[in-house]
């Protein structure tokens, strides 16, 4: 066992003395040392219950003969960080989580790990760490929040942001907004729609790194505690069988994840995280294949914000395995991929029944014949741009309009709330990419303001930043190359006509090549917005969004 290097032999007597200082018995020291990486904290609603999940995991590990030891991982609440400098610190924590977990696991010679994440960057950060460390590892999240209720209608965090836009437009009173405020997020857990946290927790199941129900069992259900105990037991079985993350997270399993991403209608942030996780597993996940997969994969789920159903509904309908079983009828999944259960994907999903064909459509009756995400290209985004096609109003799938150009999110918000954006406009927010932001902020505030003011089916938004999974509408992000490195989005001028054709995966600025070359000649790099601290280091090392915004060494 790896932990023998800190427990066995005379040379390790000093190490054992420190274990004794922890109150650890000699009997415990004889057992495998299992790191329980807990993201528990008291600032993120999705993490406030992780102390209970951690306790249950530790019990499961101990029941199966292991010696569980809890160590921490950080997390940021994207909702609380939204719309101010805090959002610059969201994506960048993904790499802090991966790096710090690598340090803890390697320094203390853990034999195996159980990862307990829940929210947006915390889940992919720990998946990156798992691939990098490559000891037997199981994931168990804290689970999704239940949907809120206002006047008999179910709500979520995106409803709350849109309520602010409706108030600005004079469509809601302050008292009505207050009612939403009190009811939109009624329980602990990751926010209740198919936003980034739930997208990544669901895809963790698809990748084979989490047990059945990891992505969908609500945070407040007792089944979540049972799942945590079983995760603790499962990691001990993996240790015995020597099943490791890189045995599970293979090129074929990442392709499965892209297929299910399209079927579920996941957050566009998955197009950042899947390539970054694959990179840590030694796999080059080229997003060029995403459209090929999308063209073959029907969209079976319209979870909030794309539709009126929530993660709790997906759970009751049979969960991720039921969706996988439905999609497998088309031969799109590799069923031989290994999972943390010690069984293959095919063995896991066999006989998993779809209990509600309105929540999980059949392959014969999909919401659309193509997947939930599209990768766009054109002279405005020569590398890539990303849109959640399943959350776009049909009339906005093809659109031409004048550019309204802003060099930061704050200026765009001021214009939107000031009534300066009108039907037909294409809002361009630039210098918000990985390097330019720095940190690639989410644009939930502007997209929610647009939707809340009744412009969601007439106004598009394009950015080199990114979007929350709670964003809906013609919200096109990850435009590459970004403005900070002189990408075409930096050359757009007020009033230029932008052409969007989502069905044909095209994004073009209707300006001649000669004019673009002249503008490029005159372009000057923008002064860095941050010059000290972690953000400055991140900006110096960040790769393009098309490569997952990974840190280049």
- Residues assigned a catalytic role: 468
Quote the CA–CA distance of 176 and 312 in Å, as a whole number. 26
Closest alpha carbon to 204 in 287, 349, 320, 54: 320
Closest alpha carbon to 324 in 350, 303, 344, 306: 350
Closest alpha carbon to 322 in 405, 202, 414: 202
537 cis-preceded (ω within 30 degrees of 0): no
Looking at residue 309, the DSSP 8-state letter turns out to be B
Structure token pair of residue 256: 């499965």
Structure token pair of residue 14: 């000093």
What count of other Cβ atoms lies within 10 Å of the Cβ of residue 327?
A: 23
Q: How many alpha carbons fall within 13 Å on the CB side of residue 451?
A: 24
Closest alpha carbon to 32 in 54, 60, 4: 4
Q: Which helix (H) or strand (E) holds 212?
A: none
Quote the CA–CA distance of 146 and 203 in Å, as a whole number. 19
Give helix then strand counts, H and E, for the chain.
Answer: 22, 14
Burial bucket for residue 331 (CB in 10 Å: 0-12, 13-18, 19+): exposed
Q: Give residue for tokens 């739930």.
A: 198
β-pair partners for 427: 404, 461
What count of other Cβ atoms lies within 10 Å of the Cβ of residue 540?
A: 12
CA distances (Å), origin 412, targets 430, 446, 466: 10, 7, 14
What count of other Cβ atoms lies within 10 Å of the Cβ of residue 280?
A: 23
Question: SS3 of 247, please?
Answer: helix
Structure token pair of residue 547: 């490569």
Quote the CA–CA distance of 230 and 208 in Å, as a whole number. 15
Residue spans of alpha helices (H) in 283-399: 288-296, 311-316, 319-327, 345-349
**Structural contact between residues 73 and 38, judged by C-beta atoms closer than 8 angstroms:** yes
């Amino acid at each position: 066992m790896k932990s023998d290097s800190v427990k066995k032999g005379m040379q390790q007597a000093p190490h054992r003395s420190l274990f004794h200082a922890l109150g650890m018995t000699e009997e415990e020291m004889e057992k495998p040392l299992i790191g329980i990486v807990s993201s528990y904290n008291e600032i993120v609603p999705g993490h406030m219950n992780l102390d209970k999940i951690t306790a249950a995991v530790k019990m499961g590990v101990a029941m199966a003969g292991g010696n569980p030891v809890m160590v921490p991982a950080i997390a940021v609440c994207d909702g609380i960080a939204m719309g101010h400098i805090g959002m610059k610190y969201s994506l960048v924590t993904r790499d802090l989580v991966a790096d710090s977990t690598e340090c803890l696991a390697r320094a203390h010679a853990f034999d195996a790990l159980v990862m307990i994440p829940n929210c947006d960057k915390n889940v992919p950060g720990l998946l990156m760490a798992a691939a990098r460390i490559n000891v037997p590892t199981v994931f168990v999240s804290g689970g999704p929040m239940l949907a809120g209720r206002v006047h008999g209608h179910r709500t979520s965090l995106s409803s709350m942001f849109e309520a602010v836009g409706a108030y600005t437009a004079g469509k809601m009173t302050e008292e009505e907004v207050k009612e939403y405020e009190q009811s939109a997020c009624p329980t602990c857990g990751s926010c209740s729609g198919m936003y980034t946290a739930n997208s990544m927790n669901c895809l963790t199941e698809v990748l084979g790194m989490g047990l059945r129900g990891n992505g969908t069992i609500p945070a407040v259900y007792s089944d979540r505690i049972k799942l945590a105990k079983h995760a603790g037991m499962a990691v001990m079985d993996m240790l015995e069988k020597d099943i490791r993350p890189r045995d599970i997270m293979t090129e074929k399993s990442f392709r499965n994840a892209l297929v299910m991403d399209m079927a579920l209608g996941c957050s566009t942030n998955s197009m950042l995280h899947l390539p970054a996780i694959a990179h840590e597993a030694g796999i080059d996940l080229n997003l060029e294949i995403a459209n090929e997969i999308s063209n073959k994969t029907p969209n079976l789920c319209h979870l909030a914000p794309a539709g009126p159903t929530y993660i709790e509904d997906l759970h009751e309908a049979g969960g991720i395995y039921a969706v996988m079983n439905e999609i497998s009828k088309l031969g799109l999944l590799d069923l031989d991929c290994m999972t943390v259960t010690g069984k293959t994907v095919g063995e896991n999903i066999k006989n998993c029944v779809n209990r509600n064909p309105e929540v999980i459509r059949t392959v014969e009756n999909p919401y659309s014949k193509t997947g939930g995400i599209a990768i766009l290209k054109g002279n405005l985004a020569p590398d890539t741009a990303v849109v959640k096609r399943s959350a776009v109003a049909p009339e906005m799938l093809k659109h031409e309009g004048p550019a309204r150009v802003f060099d930061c999110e704050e200026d765009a918000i001021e214009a939107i709330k000031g009534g300066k954006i009108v039907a037909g406009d294409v809002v361009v927010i630039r210098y918000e990419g990985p390097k330019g932001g720095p940190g690639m902020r989410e644009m939930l505030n502007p997209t929610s303001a647009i939707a809340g003011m009744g412009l969601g089916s007439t106004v598009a938004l394009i950015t080199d930043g990114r979007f929350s999974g709670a964003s809906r509408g013609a919200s096109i992000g990850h435009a590459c190359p970004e403005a900070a490195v002189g990408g075409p989005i930096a050359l757009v001028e007020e009033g230029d006509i932008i052409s969007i054709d989502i069905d044909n995966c095209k994004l073009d600025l209707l300006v001649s090549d000669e004019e673009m070359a002249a503008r490029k000649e005159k372009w000057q790099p923008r002064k860095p917005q941050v010059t000290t601290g972690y953000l400055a280091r991140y900006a110096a090392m960040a790769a393009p969004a098309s490569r997952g915004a990974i840190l280049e060494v």
